[in-house]
Amino acid sequence: MSRFVPKTVRCAIEDVVRYFQKLQYARITIRNLRRLLNKFEAFARARGERYLSTRLAQAFLDHFRRTACTGPDSFKWRYSRHAMRVLMEHASTGAHRQQGVYHKQPTILPKFMEQVITDIIEYGRNSLRWSESTVQIRTLWIRRFLEFAHKKGLKNWESLRVADVSAWIIHLESLGTASRRQALAAVRFLFKALFLRGRLSKPLHQMCLTPRFPDDCRPPQIWDFKDIKRLLGAVDRRSHWGKRDYAILLLAIRLGLRSCDIRLLRLDNIRWDEAIIDIVQQKTKRPLRLPMSNDIGDALADYLRHGRPKVSRREVFLRNVVPFVPLTNALSHIVRRYRRKAGLSTSPGYGLHSLRHTVATQLMAHGVPHETISGLLGHVHPDTTRRYLRTDISTLRTVGLDPDEEVRHV
């Protein structure tokens, strides 16, 4: 367990209870937690120990297991471990790790690697104005590459070779094309930074050729209009989950918003009097103003009134279970869930981003100018929009919308 500032057992218990109350956990959850922690306090008092420590927590768990006569798989034993973990993590960090969330402990790299990672990320954040999502992605891939190189015996920067990158890309062959491209871009940036700082004598970033991934020429997955109707029809809009997911899907289907922009949409971004959604895009940092159609407005209002937890947070979309915090994961799992319910194929490629491609293709099929499509999607460069429209005539014929149906959404 992590180190923490020494606290008395009583103070630590009161702090973690207030923390759970602030997160609006159910009363019975807080009551059960307090009951178990009170037993821990009585155990500490009987031993004459006042301050919280890892040793004391482990001694209590050993005592609890002996006296409660519980097996290693019993609920009492699992809950006691969970309660003590929460207490110790809160005393250490002021928070706790949510159950069901996977936390991989990072590999400890040599000091010269760790320092370079820190320098590069700080430079990207402060000088290049990287968004936090870019910082996280670049940190992830640079660290993974250096972990791979460290295992292969890398001792200094001059021993880096382009072949190391090729071997790593082959190592990532089980991942999707977009992930491998992100990985290669991050490593190129690492090489460029090392070269410009004089730690590499050769410009390895110019020597890394972009590999041809198997699906480079595959056109984007485009939805059939009937499948979109089946997807929306599979959402149970009577439940809290359904109200939230229906609004999320409509934002992607009607406006083509990115997953990150949907997750971070705030109440202040919705201008009800003008029927407009006004945001600053997370990816490009450019402002984007989009019309809010009647069905989007109705779905958002229904969720905000009857589905969203009653908390003071300004983000629109929140978890439906405590803690009521903004959604943090990509939203493609929502699409997969309702594709399964609708009896549609769950093959790769039909995630939330495919709905963005579909919006672009639908607009092109109806003769909307290329510049208008680029503006609606919030693209900075026209070439980005052209890649979205990389499809053939047969695909266009499958996505034809019913004009009368679409007019009703405006």
Task: Say yes or no: 135 and 178 in one domain.
Answer: yes
Residue 24 CA to residue 310 CA, distance in Å, equals: 10
Same domain, 288 and 390: yes
Q: Which residues are catalytic?
A: 258, 283, 353, 356, 379, 388
- Does 2 fall in a domain? no
Q: Identify whether residues 40 and 115 lie together within a single domain.
A: no
Beta bridge partners of 8: 51
- Is the pLDDT at 41 greater than 70? The verdict is yes
Are residue 263 and residue 370 in the same domain, yes or no? yes
* pLDDT > 50? residue 1: no
CB 289: neighbour CB atoms within 10 A? 14
Name the residue among 219, 240, 228, 391 with its Cα closest to residue 304. 240
177 with 39, same domain: the answer is no
38 and 119 fall within a common domain = no
Instruction: Please state the rounded mean pLDDT for residues 262-288.
Output: 92
Q: Is 87 within 8 Å of 52 (Cβ atoms)?
A: yes
In whole angstroms, what is the distance from residue 156 CA to residue 7 CA? Answer: 43
Number of domain units in the chain: 3
C-alpha–C-alpha distance, residues 257 and 343, integer Å: 25
CATH number at residue 282: 1.10.443.10
**Better-predicted residue by pLDDT, 45 or 107:** 45
Tokens representing residue 70 in the block: 């519980």
Residue 50, domain member (yes or no): yes
Same domain for 338 and 291, yes or no, is: yes
Strands 276-280 and 287-291: antiparallel
Query: What confidence score (pLDDT) does residue 104 get?
Result: 53
Tell whether 321 and 235 lie within a shared domain.
yes
> Which of 156, 172, 207 represents a domain boundary (last residue)?
207
Among 207, 235, 270, the domain-final residue is: 207
Q: Label residue 325 by pLDDT band (50, 70, 90).
A: confident
Most confident of 202-216, 308-322, 383-397: 308-322
Whichever domain contains 197, its CATH number is: 1.10.150.130
- The mean per-residue pLDDT over the stretch 143-155 comes to 91
Q: Which amino acid is at 261?
A: D
Q: What is the mean pLDDT of residues 57-84?
A: 83
3-state secondary structure (DSSP) of residue 172: coil
| Residue 85 belongs to a domain | yes
Residue 17's Cβ-side half-sphere holds a number of Cα atoms within 13 Å equal to 17
In a domain, 283, yes or no: yes
221 pLDDT band, cuts 50/70/90, is confident
Domain limits for position 171 = 111-207
pLDDT value of position 5: 52
Q: DSSP letter at 216?
A: T
Residue type at 12 in one-letter notation: A
* Residue 212's pLDDT band (cuts 50, 70, 90): low
Does the structure show a pLDDT above 70 at 200? yes
Among candidate residues 349, 352, 360, the one with its CA nearest the CA of residue 252: 352
Give me the mean pLDDT over the 53-82 stretch: 84
Task: Kindly report, residue by residue over 288-300, the tens digit of the pLDDT.
Answer: 999 999 999 999 9
**Structure confidence by residue, pLDDT tens digits, 82-132:** 899 999 988 888 887 765 444 455 677 888 998 999 999 899 888 888 877
* 14 domain-assigned: yes
Within-domain flag for 212: no
Do 376 and 252 fall into the same domain?
yes
* 206, pLDDT greater than 50: yes
409 compared with 243, residue with greater pLDDT: 243
Decide if 216 is inside a domain: no
Distance from the Cα of residue 251 to its chain's centroid: 18
pLDDT band at 3 (very low <50, low <70, confident <90, very high): very low
pLDDT at residue 55 is higher than 60: yes
Are 161 and 281 within one domain? no
Last residue of a domain, one of 161, 177, 207: 207
Whether 393 shows a pLDDT value over 60: the answer reads no
Rounded to 10 degrees, the C-alpha dihedral 151/157/159/164 comes to 50
**If you search the block for the tokens 């290669």, which residue do you land on?**
184
Residue 341 has pLDDT above 60, yes or no: yes
pTM given for the model: 0.67
In a domain, 104, yes or no: no
In three-state form (DSSP H/G/I as H, E/B as E, the rest C), the secondary structure along 118-168 is HHHHHHHHHCCCCCHHHHHHHHHHHHHHHHHHHHCCCCCHHHCCHHHHHHH
Average per-residue pLDDT in the chain?
A: 83
Quickly state the pLDDT bin for 407 (edges 50, 70, 90): very low
